[in-house]
Structure 1
C-alpha cells in the first residue's frame, strides 16, 4: 500500500512539473489562453443549447404548451360568456 501511495505522489509531482513547464510566463499570454478557453466553452454551450432546442422532446414540449394555451383561451372565453349571461340575468336593484 505504501508503494502505491508513493507511485501516486510521484505521478502527481511529474504532472505538476509538466503543467508548470507549460504555464506561460507572461500575463498577456495567460489572458489570451483564458480568452481562448472562454470562447471554446461559449461555442460548446451554444452548440449544446441549439441541439436541445432542436430535439424532439423540445418540439413536443412546445406543441404541448401551444395546445394547452389554446385550451386555456377556450375555457377563458367560455367563462367570460357564462359570466356575461349571469350578469344579464341579474335583476336591477
Structure 2
C-alpha cells in the first residue's frame, strides 16, 4: 500500500475519532479510537491487497512479466555479443 494512502487513512481516522469522542478532554479515549480505526484500516488494506494478489489478472500479469523478462534477457545478451564483435573490429586510435 502506498504511504500516502495510509497517511490519508490515518488522518481520516484521527478526524473521525475527534468528531466521535464523547469527552474531548480525555486523550486516552481519542488514542483508543484512533488505534481502533487504524487497525480496521490496516486489516481492510491487507485483505484488499491479498485479494488483488490472488486475482486471476494479477497471476496473468506476473506470468506475462516472467515470460517477457526471459525474452528481454535474451535480447540483451545478443546485443552484448554484437557490441563485443563491433568493439573487436574497431581499430585502435
After the TM superposition, which parts of structure 1 deviate over 4 Å for at least 4 consecutive aligned residues? none
Q: Partners in 2 of 1:78 and 1:68 — Cα distance?
A: 15
Report 1 or 2 for greater relative contact order, CA contacts < 8 Å, sequence distance ≥ 6.
2
Q: Is 1:58 matched with 2:58? A: yes
- TM-score for the superposition, normalised by structure 2: 0.64
Which structure 1 segments of 5+ residues have no match? 1-19
1:77-92 maps to which residues of 2 (within 5 A)? 77-91=77-91
Report the aligned-residue RMSD. 2.2
- Corresponding residue for residue 24 of structure 1: 22
- TM-score for the superposition, normalised by structure 1: 0.64
Paired residues, number? 73
Higher-Rg member (1/2): 1
Q: Partners in 1 of 2:40 and 2:92 — Cα distance?
A: 71
Which structure 2 segments of 5+ residues have no match? 1-18
Preserved contact between residue 24 and residue 30 of structure 1 (Cα < 8 Å):
no
Q: Displacement of 1:81 after TM fit?
A: 1.6
